Amino acid sequence: MLTLAWPWLLILLPLPLLFQKQHKQEVAGHLKLPTTSTTQLVGTIHTKFSKRWYWLMWLLLVLAIARPQWLGEPIELPSKGRDLMVAVDLSGSMQIEDMVLNNQTVDRFTMIQKVVSDFIDRRKGDRIGLILFADHAYLQAPLTLDRRSVAQFLKEAEIGLVGKQTAIGEAIGLAVKRFDKVKQSNRVLVLLTDGSNNAGVIEPIAAAKIAAERGITIYTIGVGADVMEQRTFFGRQRVNPSMDLDENTLEQIAKMTHGKYFRAKDGQQLENIYQDIDKLEPVARNQQTYRPRSELFYWPLGLMLLINILLSLAKLPIFNRFKTSGGQL
């Protein structure tokens, strides 16, 4: 967007009119003799022509003084918010199709990708990190203000990428390790899983105890429906797809770290859970933005100087002889 830094300086535009009016009043008292001299007629036309250029130069000069600028697109400034890690289970059970998205049955991980991506996008001002865990826990994205990249990493993740088991304790331990590198921050871990700890080198409760000592708040989310119909040789049967979910351990982890345990049985519940987390851990500060400014005053100023140089050259004797000789030197 084009703008002026000092638009009030445009009031200088009519200033030459005051001097022109005063000059006419001084000349009005002098006696003028009628004449039909061709030289005077050409001189009068030349004077009127020159005045137009002088007015243009004055306009360009005032415009340059008013400092025209080009405002770029708004850019977000880093702000002090929370350091928030999201740990997502990529074990084999995440491919169970017991969730509904847009009236279609989808697997658990597809639903998590959609809801968690929306949650990440809302956390303006927070530094977000992403941990993926199955047989072991891996840091997919370190703490960063670049929310789009974190959401993209989650979108590109695949079930079974890091194994088929569930290392909940390792995921918590890795988050603690990453938080240790950050000082004076509100540390929050959101952990999603649909199973129980059956892999890794540290137990979930032991890892949660360390997290509590370091001042880390953990919100645990158990994912999976209670009832699901399956076709078998004996017909359709109702089964519990979440029978492996260790809710007792997840509740203990949340309680030990002053967090909260949530149960997500469908997509809508999962979305409501993240809205609740937004309320429990609101963004600490409104995101501030600034718009980069590019100075443009040198364009009208340069054009004014160019016109001035051309008019000065036109007054040189050599150019006057050129005009009177019909274009031949």
> Strand (E) positions, 34-151?
68-71, 75-76, 82-89, 99-101, 104-106, 127-133, 137-144
pLDDT digits (tens, 9 = 90+) for 95-137: 888 887 777 888 889 989 999 999 998 888 788 999 999 999 9
Single-letter code of the amino acid located at 274: Y
Spatial contact of 274 and 264, defined as CB atoms under 8 Å apart: no
pLDDT of residue 40: 47
* Model confidence pTM above 0.85: no
pLDDT at 239 over 80: no
Tokens of 124: 């303006």
pLDDT at 43 over 70: no
